[in-house]
Amino acid sequence: MDRLIKRGIIQSNICSLCERDAESHTHLFFECHFSMTVWNEVMNWLKFKWRTCNWRMLLDWYCNRLRGRGFKLKVKRMALAAVVYNIWKERNNRIFNQKKRAPEQIVRDIKIGMYSVILNNPLMPNEDRDCFLSL
Ligand SMILES: [Zn+2]
């Protein structure tokens, strides 16, 4: 929206999630209190120390610290993708479909999605499944 308003294509760039601040990619995914709530709740659920920050740190985290095959690394990558996807989906649903979910509902949907993927994987080792279920 920040790019569209600079070109005069739209008149308002108010964030559809918090309905208060201007929407930019940094605001939408990291600075918005709505998005922060979702990020931090998912990180709390998974007992990860990481909290919302910015794109540069996130990319560094994803490309460098989350490399590898370990189960916990896979879960972290999955959580990161799920949060970004769900925030973007929520933003688009509010703009194009006039449908709103509360942050708690989005966190619940992320949990259901991750449980579904992990627990329905027939190749998932039992120890990894048990580790995930203990969260
Ligand atoms: Zn916002």
Write the pLDDT tens digit of every residue in 54-81. 777 777 777 777 677 788 888 888 998 9
Instruction: Say how far apart CA 122 and CA 12 lie, in whole Å.
Output: 48
Tokens coding 1: 């929206």
For residue 16, name the pLDDT band (cuts at 50, 70, 90): very high
In the reported structure, the alpha carbon of residue 61 is separated from the centroid of ligand 1 by a whole-number distance in angstroms of 23
CA of 135 to the centre of ligand 1 (A): 29
- pLDDT at position 42 is 93
* Alpha carbon distance 38, 81 (integer Å): 13
Measured in Å, residue 17 CA sits from the centre of ligand 1 at 5
C-alpha 32 – ligand 1 centre gap (Å)? 4
Helix axes 71-96, 103-119, angle to 10 degrees: 140
Q: What whole-number distance in Å separates Cα of residue 31 and Cα of residue 69?
A: 31
Q: Collect residues with CB below 5 Å from ion ligand 1.
A: 15, 17-18, 21, 32
Residue 52: band (very low, low, confident or very high) from pLDDT cuts 50, 70, 90: low
